[in-house]
Amino acid sequence: MASVVSGTGARRSSLRMFRDQPRWFSTLFMVDMWERFSFYGMTAILYLYLVAPEADGGFGLATGTATALFGTYMSLMFIGALPGGWLADRVLGPRRAVLYGGICIALGHYSMSVPARPFLYLGLLFVILGTGLAKPSIASLVSSPYQGQNEKREATMSVFYMSIQISAFLAPIITGLLGEKVNWHLGFGAAAVGMTFGLLQYIGGSRHFGDLGVLPDRPIESERGRVIARRAGFAIGAVVLLLLADIVSGAFQVEHILGLCGLLTVTLPVVFYLRLRKNPLLGAVDRSRLTAFVVLLGGSSVFWLLYAQGGSVLSRFAEEFTDREVFGGTIPASWFQSAHPVFILICAPLFAMLWLRLGKRVDVPMKFAGALLCAGLSFLLMSLAAQVAVSAGLVSPGWLLGVYLLQVCGELALAPVGLSVAVQVAPDGFTNQYLGLFWLFAALGAGIGGQLARLSTVLPLQTYFLIFGLLACAAGALMALATRGLRRKLNTI
């Protein structure tokens, strides 16, 4: 009974906190709600659309290519936050970054609603650019009024994050129903219409912001800005010329783009870390902490390698090997993606209470080890499910739901903890760069996972899941063994 009363009180407190926010809070909430609708809606149907036969209105890609494309998309979504956050901090200001990002997301989904093959790639590019601009800027605007008020800022961000999970839950249901049962392009178009409504409300509610987020936090010097713009222009121009030459030669294949993006995903975290380590403003202690932090991030990339396959390999298992018959009808395979936000809503308060109760007895490296163990166990469970499917045919949906629950537990032990540690160990003036490093290693895992997921079409599924489940468990064991050394170097717990 006490837990029920406590949970009810927490919900009432959250509702009061939501009502007590400034009027612009609800405006940002609506924009972020539709951005999350876009992300989870795409996660639910993108892979299924890519592998669906052209005769059924799909894109008709081979399974291996589709998994690689999906993994690349997830990876670039993580990477996009780095240049997007920089543009908001130094050039645009958060308010304009949210506006331009929302416009790009809407344009991306409108593009993907057009039933022509080139518009898929154009749409994905717009969605990646828009998410990179909007996502970090929304977080910055929500937290910026509470400088020096850590408890209030964290509580506000928690309420904000928990509330938008409702949109994350509804997105796969709506886009999946439209995409799988009616027309794939209607599923993409639904997110475009929703994002348009969010933008209209954002523009209409902009008067409530006052001066908040109008100017960049650290405006870049005009000469420095011109130098960076020229370099970026040369880099983009070189990529475009290479792509055009590939197309004109008649040798173009989507794998060429995937290979280039894969190279970027692997090299960017390493280059960013090495340049950060050489910064003369970092002292010996800072470099020691940075090294320990990167070891943690290396472990986290193994977690994201498995986690990012939820919308591809696990969606394939839902579509081909899961009994989806309920009351005489067939549940769309994409609906299983709604399990993630539901488990987040259920488990996030429980994990918050757990960390408070455990205190310093379970520190950051052990939490990362636990996250890796959860991810590994989820794939070992999938290996059992695949073995059952081989011998008995379609399996119960409970297998997939158990897998998603384990992965959400891992996410809650890793993602918020990792972001918090990034803020703790970063020297003054380096917080955003350390946060960017966190997402770059997440991109590394998602990108490599997308490429390795091709093996799921070559190996028996039970073997595929077994290999990567054991890999994650082994990484978790190594992280646990390294806990004492990492704790000493981090010196933050």
Task: Please tell me the distance from the alpha carbon of residue 318 to that of residue 172, in angstroms, as a whole number.
Answer: 14
- Structure confidence at residue 378 (pLDDT): 96
Q: For residue 336, what pLDDT is reported? A: 92
Q: Residue 2: what pLDDT?
A: 36
Instruction: Please give the share of the chain, as a percent, with pLDDT higher than 90.
Output: 31
| Section 238-262 average pLDDT | 75
State mean pLDDT over 295-302. Answer: 93
The per-residue pLDDT for range 121-158, each reduced to its tens digit, is 899 999 999 988 888 788 777 766 655 555 565 556 66
Percent of the chain with pLDDT over 70: 89
**Residue 475 pLDDT > 50, yes or no?**
yes
What does the pLDDT average to over 398-411? 94
Q: What is the dihedral of CA 223, 225, 227, 233, to 10 degrees?
A: -150
Is residue 7's pLDDT more than 50?
A: no
**pLDDT (average), residues 249-276:** 81
Residues 174-195 have a mean pLDDT of 90
What letter represents residue 421's amino acid? V
pTM given for the model: 0.84
pLDDT at 92: 83
* Mean pLDDT for the stretch of residues 31-52: 88
| Other Cβ atoms within 10 Å of 240 Cβ, number | 10
Which range (13-22, 120-129, 257-266, 400-409) has the least confidence?
13-22
Which among 406, 446, 468, 421 is positioned nearest to 295, based on CA atoms? 421
Quick: pLDDT tens for 230-240.
Answer: 887 887 788 77
pLDDT at 458 over 70: yes
474 pLDDT more than 90: yes
Between 151 and 340, the higher pLDDT residue: 340
pLDDT in the model for residue 4: 37
pLDDT range class, residue 264, cuts 50, 70, 90: confident
pLDDT higher than threshold 60 for residue 13: no
Q: How far apart are CA 276 and CA 265, in angstroms?
A: 17
Q: CA separation (Å) from 29 to 136, 231, 237? A: 14, 36, 37
Domains of the chain (ranges; CATH) run 12-220 (1.20.1250.20), 266-493 (1.20.1250.20)
Q: Which of 258, 320, 255 is nearest to 71 (CA)?
A: 258
Pairing of strands 329-330, 325-326: antiparallel
Lowest mean pLDDT across 274-283, 351-360, 401-410, 471-480: 351-360
What pLDDT sits at residue 370?
94
pLDDT in tens, 210-219: 777 677 777 7
The angle that helices 23-51 and 313-321 make with each other, rounded to 10 degrees, is 60
Q: Which helix (H) or strand (E) holds 165?
A: helix 150-181
Residue 33 has pLDDT above 60, yes or no: yes
What pLDDT sits at residue 296?
92
pLDDT of residue 19: 58
Highest-confidence segment of 24-28, 270-274, 381-385: 381-385
Return left, alpha or beta for 325; rule: phi > 0 is left, psi -120 to 50 is alpha, else beta. beta
Contact status, residue 251 vs residue 65, Cβ threshold 8 Å:
no
The predicted pLDDT at position 18 comes to 53
Average pLDDT, the chain: 84
What pLDDT, in 10s, does the model give residues 422-449?
Answer: 878 888 767 777 888 888 899 999 989 9
Closest CA to 394 of 442, 331, 457: 331
CA distance readout (Å), 306 to 194, 281, 471: 30, 36, 10
In sequence order, what are the beta bridge partners of 330? 325
Residue 349 pLDDT more than 60? yes
